[in-house]
Structure 1
Amino acid sequence: MTMTTTTTTPETKTVLVIGATGKQGRAFIRSLLFPPSTSTPSSPTTITPPPTKSENWHILALTRDASALPAQALLGEAKQHNATSKISLVEACLNTPSTLRAVFESHPNIYSVFVVLAYPGLGTPVIAQKEKAQGTLIADLAVEFGVKLFVYSSTIPIGPDPSDGIDESRKQKREVEHYIEDLGKKNPELKWIVIRPGFFYENLEGVFGAIGATMYRDGLKKETTLTMVASEDLGRVVAGLLQNPEPYINKFLCVTSGPMTMREVLDAHKRATGKPMPAAPGFLGWILLKINKGAQDLVREAEINHANRTSGRLPTFEEEVERAKSVCELQTYEQWKRALVSGECGVDELARSGSTDGRRASTSSWNNLSLMKLLTGRS
C-alpha cells in the first residue's frame, strides 16, 4: 500500500498598508516580511522580535504614485530580501473615495488593514480636518468588504477628552478612534486595535532634529517628560499584533518605552555616543518659541500631556503602555542610539541616513515645515 503525504502550506493573508512609504508603514512591513537579524544575542542592544507564526503574508502597499521614489525604494528593499513577490504597490488618493474603493474591489479578500494617516504639518488645521474623513472612510470600507482586523495608528492622548490638545491633527485622530470604537460595536465582526505611538526618536536626528531638541530643551520645564519610541519598535508591535491579535482585540496600546525628560535624553545620547547631542544655537530656539505658533503648541501640548499623565487624568495610560510592551520588547533611547551608531542589524537604514521618505536625507523640512517657515513664524 502506497502512503501519500499531503503538504499543507500556510494561508496567505493580505494586509493593506495605508501609509506604506512613511516611517511607520515601512517599519511595519520590514518587521513582518523581513525582520532584522538577531544573530548577536549577547549584544545589550539586541531587541527580541515578536514571535513569528507560519502565515504567508502579502502586503498591498498603498501609494498615490507607484513610480515615485519612496514607493520604488520600498520595492528595492523588498528585492534585497528576495521578497518582491510579497509586496504589491496599489495606487489611490485618500481624498478621492472612488480610488480607494477600487483597491478594495480589486482585492476582495483583504485580511487586515493598517492605517497611518499622513501628518499634515504644524499649524495646518484645514488640511488636518481631512484626517477624520479619511479615517472614517477607510473604516467604513473595511466593514463593507469584510476586513477581519483593523489597526489604526493614532497618537498618545493629551488629555481624557477628544477635544483636549491644541494640534488639529491630534484632535482628528481622537475623533477617528471613537468612530472606530463605535463602528466596532455596531459591527462585531470588525475586530479593531488602536495603537498610540509616542514621539519618535528619529525626530531628534539631523539638522531639524537638532532644532527640535533645542526647542524642547529650552521650552519645556525641567521635570516635563516626553513619551518616546523608535519607529522600528512601532513596526515590531504592529507585526506582533497581526501574528497574535486575540489578546489585543478592541483595545488601545500606547507604544512608548517610557517617558523621559529632555535632560535624560541628552544624558543618554552622550552615554551612547560619547558626544553631546547636536543642538541649534540657543538664540534659534528662543526665536522659534517666540514667533512660531506651531512650535509653541508642541511645547504646550507636551506640558499638558505630562500634567495629565502624572495627575492621573489619563488613568489607562500605564495599562496601555504595558499592553504594548507585552507584544515585544521596546528599546530605550540609549539602546536605540547605540545601535544606530554601531550600525547593528535591526536598525532602520533610513533612520541611520536621516531619511524619512525613502529618499536621501533632506535638511529642508521637518513636520512639513521649511527653515524659512519656522523662522518667519509661518506654520
Structure 2
Amino acid sequence: MTTARRLETTAMAKASDALTLFRETSAALRRTVPFDAAVWQSTDPATGMATAPMRAENLGEDGCATYWNAELLSEKVNLFRDLARAAVPVAALRDGAADSPEHSAVYREFLQPRGLDDELRAVLRADGQWWGQVSLFRSKGRPPFSKWELAAVSGLTTFLGRRLRSYAEPAPEPVVDGGRGPGLLLFDRGGALLSINDEARDFLAGMPAGPSAPSRFGVSVPAWIHSTAASATQAEEARIRAKDRSGRWLVFHASCLRDADGSPHQTAVVIEPAKASEVASLITAAYGLTERELEITQLIGRGLSTAQLATKLYLSQHTVRDHVKSIFTKTGVTSRGELVAKLYAEHYQPLNPTTRIRVWD
C-alpha cells in the first residue's frame, strides 16, 4: 500500500465540506510529513485563483496582503499556476530555488520575517481542473522538505481535488436572494481598504470565517479577496466565485483603476449573487459528467429536444438517449425538467457557520 493510500483516512473520505476535509487531511498528513504552519485553500477552477473556504494553521492575520502581493506581483519560484500544469503538481521552495530561497519573493517578504524557512506547495486537481492548493511551512532550524515527502503529498493531490470538486454539488433547496444591490470595496495599490459600501459589509458578514486582514472600517477582508484585487493589477480584471455560509454562490469581480500614465492606482471589487449559468460548470463537474455529457446538459438547459440534440451534435438519437440516461443516473434525476432545476436553480449547499478554520497547535 502506498503512503498516499495509507493517508486517505475514512474521515477524509467522509468529510462533508472543504473545511472538514482540510482539517482531517492536515491531521493525517502532519504525522507523516511534519510541518509547523499551513494554508489550505479552495480555488475557482476557471481561474485557479484562491477562494472561500480557506484554512490557516499557526499563522497570524497580519500577512494576507503581504503574501498575495509577493505571490502575484513578483514571485518567480514554484508559482501555483506553473504547478497546475506540471506533470507532478508539487514542489518545495528550497528544492525549486536550488537552496537559494532568497530568490523567492514569498520567502523574502513573508516566510523569513515569520521565522519560516521552507515551503512545500501542491495544487489539488482532478481531471485537469484546479480545485485547491496547499502550502506547508517549516520553521528555521528544521530540515527542508525531502523528495520522499514531496512524493507523499503528490499522491494525495488527485484524491483531494476530487473531494473538493464534489462540494460544488447543489443542496436540495435553493437559497432565495434578498434582492440587495452589488457590494463595492475599493483598495489602494498596496492592498489597503479605502472604502466599502453597506452591501459589501453584508456580503462579507455572510462569508465563512477564514484568514483575513483587519481594516480601519472595522471589517476584516478575506485573504482571497486581497489576492483577487492583487491579480487585477496585473491582468486589468480578475473574477472568482465563492459560497457564503447560507450556500449561495457569489461572484467577486475586481477591476484595476489606473493613473493617467497607466500605472495601477486603485482596485475596485464588486460583489454580486451569481447567476445560475455562472456556476453551472462547477455543479456539472461535481457530478463527474464527461465533456460530452456536459455539452448535452447545457443544450438540454436551452430546451433542445432529442432530435435537435442529435442534429446539432452529429449523433444518432439512440446515442443521445444513452448520454441522457447516463446524465440522469449521475445527477440522480428522472426527467429533463428535474435536471434543469437541479443544475441551474438549486445550486447551493449550506456551509457550517461555526467552523473555526484559523488554528494554533
TM (norm. structure 1) is 0.23
Q: Give 1 or 2: higher helix fraction.
A: 1
TM (norm. structure 2) is 0.24
